[in-house]
Amino acid sequence: MGIDAVVRLDGLTVRYGKLTAIDDLTLDVPKGGVFALLGRNGSGKSSTVRCLLGQQRPTAGRSEILGFDSWRQRRTAMERVGVVPENPDVPPDTTADRIEKFMARVTPFWRSANFFDRLESMGVPRRQRFARLSKGQQRQFAMALALAGSPRLLVLDDPTLGLDAVARRKLYEELIGELADRGTTVFLTTHDLAGVEGIADRIGILQGGSLLVDEKLEVLKARYCRLTWAATDQVQPERIEAGLQHLGAIGTGLATGATEAVVKKFSEFGFDRFRQEAPVEVMRVDSLSLEEIFIALCGAEPGGRS
């Protein structure tokens, strides 16, 4: 593990009976920035987060947060971790005033002012029971709880679930604006690929419990491209196929008067080899959005259990 790794998963495996939810997952998340763990429903994201937070014991392997074993040293590890769960789990009968007293007792780095300032800025009433807050307010409440202790790691499990577009954007802006400055590492799972594309530094994609991708977003986007060339009978299909192999094609299709291919190893060198092998008229080389990359990678295969 690198010295600056805030999260480390080492051979993490989770099984539910005969079903393998996470299969030998190894992952380092360096300090700072936003790491987004993506995957289809049932790909193993939630199990990964539960293991990471020490809420579930892995069948094999281990997970660490800030150098502490998540399962054995959960209490110590969680002192500098903020968590926003997929479904807000704040006791429904509690109010901000009451939960503040509890948090102040159990969280060493708790700052009540941070908590109340945030609630106030978001317009969340202090004396209203959690269950009576709107879904968006509940999210803000959970976020305020997670951030009030100035965490070194913020774990967000699908934090935009149920939020409208405005609220989602606000949340993401906040993450970039506040946390980047503080040096807080964000570990994020989400289905909101468009939203996360603007804030994530690093991307991990889970498929069937295995990690398909773990790299910086900019690198990922640089190597995934869509090539479009004019349809022709002049070049033998075998040559085109051989040329595409140099670029790591993962799918081809027909467009109007043209042929498309999504490649995962785009490089200048590979592109030159492709053109040598298949002398076609390349009309466009397009970058892919994260969502397109995700669909290209995960669209065909069913997921596992989350």
Q: Where does this chain bind other proteins (CB under 8 A)?
A: 50, 53-57, 74-76, 78-79, 81, 83, 85, 87, 89-94, 98, 101-103, 105-108
Between 50 and 168, CB nearer to other proteins: 50
Between 62 and 169, CB nearer to other proteins: 62
Which residue, 293, 259, 288, is CA-closest to 274? 259
Q: Which tokens hold the place of 276?
A: 């040598």
Beta bridge partners of 275: none
Q: Categorise residue 17: left if φ over 0, alpha if ψ from -120 to 50, beta otherwise.
A: left
3-state secondary structure of 23: strand
To the nearest whole angstrom, how small is the minimum distance from the Cβ of residue 221 to other proteins?
32
The secondary structure of residue 178, as a DSSP letter, is: I
To the nearest whole angstrom, how small is the minimum distance from the Cβ of residue 250 to other proteins?
36
The secondary structure of residue 187, as a DSSP letter, is: E
Between 56 and 63, CB nearer to other proteins: 56
Q: Which tokens hold the place of 7?
A: 């999260």
To the nearest whole angstrom, how small is the minimum distance from the Cβ of residue 287 to other proteins?
37
To the nearest whole angstrom, how small is the minimum distance from the Cβ of residue 55 to other proteins?
5
Between 156 and 247, CB nearer to other proteins: 156
Between 76 and 267, CB nearer to other proteins: 76
Count other C-beta atoms under 10 Å from residue 158's C-beta: 19
Cα separation of 114 and 229, whole Å?
55
34-39/202-207 β-pairing: parallel
Q: Which tokens hold the place of 252?
A: 């081809």
To the nearest whole angstrom, how small is the minimum distance from the Cβ of residue 92 to other proteins?
8
Count other C-beta atoms under 10 Å from residue 219's C-beta: 12
Sheet bearing 258-263, strands edge to edge: 249-255, 258-263, 225-230, 282-287
Between 93 and 238, CB nearer to other proteins: 93
Between 76 and 289, CB nearer to other proteins: 76
To the nearest whole angstrom, how small is the minimum distance from the Cβ of residue 90 to other proteins?
6
To the nearest whole angstrom, how small is the minimum distance from the Cβ of residue 12 to other proteins?
16
